[in-house]
Amino acid sequence: MPLCESKNEASTLKEYQRFLTPNFKPFDPVELAKDTERIVTRLGSNGLERKYEDFYATGVYGGIATGYSVGCCLRCVFCWVSWSRDFPERFGRFCSPGEAFQGIVEAARKYRVRKARVSGAEPTLGKEHLLALLELIETSKDIDLFILETNGILFGIDEDYVRRISRFGKVHVRVSLKAGTPEAFTRKTGVRPEAFELPFQAIRHLLDHQVSFHVAAMSADPRFMTKEERWSLIERLAEVDRRLPFNLEEEVVDPYDTTLARMKAANFEVKWPLKYVYPSVRELLRRDFS
């Protein structure tokens, strides 16, 4: 079932949180998850349906079939996904878990890949939809591995969700951390600083239920994370489990059109490309010796 049914879609849309603008009011990501679920999920005759924009395969992870779904509970300024994140009522079509599975398997067969994921949004919205999709993946002859990319908000508040995920042998979770301090979390995602703790709580739940997972962060990009914030992130991770920093996947931000537009709307200025701010060692040596 969706997280909450008390508001209708029209009243949800009136107040719905879109992309960040200067002087935005920090919001509760769990409330935004509920609002988004009212728009992107609905009960159908074959289970909880969720909106998807497309099914295809891409080269990341060495080739992966992807269901491009709609709707997220954060508003990251560096987010690359389509405008469906901000205007979910305008994009996508509702798919039952079976239809989403079919779309993913067809893409996997067409492009001869054996991995799958749900991307383009936060896959954990619509709990019963995702769990039903994973049941189908689990017994599929076409898919060996499902990579569950998440911002960790809903896994942080709902241990039962993580417990149910732990039953699946083909799922590997990738938790994406957006910041190393509560203040930076608010600045980059729009959410209240108290919510900073939720992805770390998600990691604790994943450890407790022995789910296969690793952690990723936008921490290799000094334009988005200072040295001090990066260390703070590493310390927080080590407090949860000393092994975690050793397996941290560090990323940089790429200048997709949607990323640039969201940053402009939020007055979040950085220089592109990254090499102008953070030259490679080869470039530094060339300058020193030329």
Count of positions on this chain that bind ligand SF4 (CB under 6 A): 10
Stretch of 54-62, 73-81, 139-147, 271-279 lying at the interface with ligand SF4 (CB under 6 A): 73-81
The first and second tokens of residue 170, run together, are 């083909």
Instruction: Assess 34 for contact with ligand SF4 (CB under 6 A).
Output: no
CB nearer to ligand SF4: pick between 24 and 136: 24
What is the x/- site pattern for ligand SF4, positions 130-159, by CB under 6 A?
A: ---------------------x--------
Beta strands in the chain (DSSP E): 41-44, 47-58, 64-69, 93-95, 115-119, 145-150, 171-177, 213-217, 249-250
| Structure-block tokens of residue 190 | 């729009």
Question: Residue 79: which residues within 8 A CB-CB, separation 6 or more?
Answer: 72, 85, 258, 259, 262
- Name the residue nearer to ligand SF4 (CB basis): 105 or 175: 175
CA distances from 54 to 70, 87, 89 (A): 10, 16, 16
**Closest distance to ligand SF4 from the beta carbon of 198 (Å):** 12
195 binds ligand SF4 (CB under 6 A): no
Interacting residues with ligand SF4 between 112 and 131 (CB under 6 A): 121-122
* 72 binds ligand SF4, rule: CB under 6 A: yes
**Cα–Cα distances in angstroms (integers) from residue 188 to residues 21, 22, 112, 135, 255, in the given order:** 11, 12, 37, 34, 16
User: From CA 121, how far away is CA 124, in angstroms rounded?
Assistant: 9
Among 33, 39, 40, 76, binds ligand SF4 (CB under 6 A): 76
Rounded Cα distance between 157 and 138, Å, is 25
Residue 49 binding ligand SF4, by CB under 6 A: no
Nearer to ligand SF4, 105 or 219 (CB): 219
Q: Are 168 and 134 in contact (CB under 8 A)?
A: yes
With CB under 6 A as the contact rule, which of the stretches 15-23, 75-83, 89-97, 126-134 interacts with ligand SF4?
75-83
Close Cβ partners of 259 (under 8 Å, ≥ 6 residues apart): 78, 79, 80, 253
Closest to ligand SF4 by CB, 72 vs 171, is 72
In the complex, the smallest distance separating the C-beta of residue 75 from ligand SF4, rounded to whole angstroms, is: 6
Cα separation, 85 vs 69, in Å, equals 9
Judged by CB under 6 A, the residue of 32, 33, 79, 211 near ligand SF4 is 79
Per-residue DSSP letter, 2 = -
Question: Taking CB under 6 A as the rule, does residue 81 contact ligand SF4?
Answer: yes
Task: Please tell me whether residue 211 binds ligand SF4 under the rule CB under 6 A.
Answer: no
74 scored as a contact of ligand SF4 (CB under 6 A): yes
Q: Compute the half-sphere exposure of residue 168: CA atoms within 13 Å on the CB side of its CA.
A: 27
Stretch of residues binding ligand SF4 (CB under 6 A), selected from 4-12, 27-35, 69-77, 130-138: 69-77
Which positions touch ligand SF4 (CB under 6 A)? Answer: 72, 74-76, 79, 81, 85, 121-122, 151
